[in-house]
Structure 1
Amino acid sequence: MNSAEVLNIAVQALWVAAKLCAPILLTALVVGFAVSLLQSITQIQEATLSFVPKAVAVMIALVICGHWMITEIVTFTHQLFDKIPALLAG
C-alpha cells in the first residue's frame, strides 16, 4: 500500500463525511438564519429562541435523511472492506 492509495482513501472518507454532514448543517444554517432574521425584525433578543427551532429542525432532518446517511456509510465501509485484499497484495 503506497501513499497514493492512502490519500485516495482519505479523500473518499472526507467526501463521505462532507456528504453526511451537509443536510444537518444546511438545515441548522437555514433555520438559524430565519430565526435571526425574525429576531432582528421583531427586536426580540432571547437566546433560547434560536436554540429550540434549530434543535427541532435538526431532529426532523435526521429522521428524513437518516436512512440515506446510514446507507452511504455502510456502502463506503463495504467498499473499504472489499479493497483490503488488493491493498495488502499491492
Structure 2
Amino acid sequence: MNPTEVIDVSREALLATLAISAPVMLIGLGIGLIIALFQALTHIQEMTLVFVPKIIVVFVSLFVFMPYMLTTLLDFSATLVDRIIALN
C-alpha cells in the first residue's frame, strides 16, 4: 500500500466520521442555541435547563439517525474490506 492510498483511506475515514456525527452534533448545537436564547430572554440561569433538554434531544436524534449512521458505517467498512482484499 503506497502513501497515496493510505491518505485516501484516511480521508474517507474522516469523511465517514463527519457524516456519521454531523446530524447529531448539528441538532445538539441548534437546541443549545434555542435554550441559550430562551435563557437570555428570560434571565433564567439554571444549569439543568441546558443539559436535560439537550440530552433528551440528542438521544432522540441518535435513534432517528441510527439507520443512516449504520448505513454510512457499513458502506465505509465494505469499501475498506474490499481494499484489504485487493492487497493480496
Do both proteins adopt the same fold according to a TM-score greater than 0.5, normalized to the shorter chain?
Answer: yes
Deviation by residue 1:22-44 (Cα, 9 ceiling, x = unmatched): 01100110000000000000000
Supply the RMSD in Å over aligned alpha carbons: 0.9
3-state secondary structure, aligned to 1:9: helix
Q: Following the alignment from structure 1 to structure 2, what is the Cα–Cα distance between the partners of residues 44 and 13?
A: 42
Q: Following the alignment from structure 1 to structure 2, what is the Cα–Cα distance between the partners of residues 85 and 64?
A: 33
Q: How many residues align?
A: 88
Q: Following the alignment from structure 2 to structure 1, what is the Cα–Cα distance between the partners of residues 85 and 25?
A: 36
How big is the shift at 1:55?
0.5
Q: Following the alignment from structure 1 to structure 2, what is the Cα–Cα distance between the partners of residues 66 and 85?
A: 28
Task: Mark the runs of 5 or more structure 2 residues left unpaired by the alignment.
Answer: none
What is the correspondence of 1:6-85 to structure 2 with a 5 Å cutoff? 6-85=6-85
Identity of aligned residues (%): 38
How big is the shift at 1:85?
2.8
Q: What is the letter of the counterpart of residue 27 of structure 2? A: T
TM-score of the aligned structures, taking structure 2 as reference length: 0.95
TM-score of the aligned structures, taking structure 1 as reference length: 0.93
Q: What is the letter of the counterpart of residue 36 of structure 2? A: S
Task: Mark the runs of 5 or more structure 1 residues left unpaired by the alignment.
Answer: none
Runs of 4+ aligned structure 1 residues displaced above 3 Å come to none
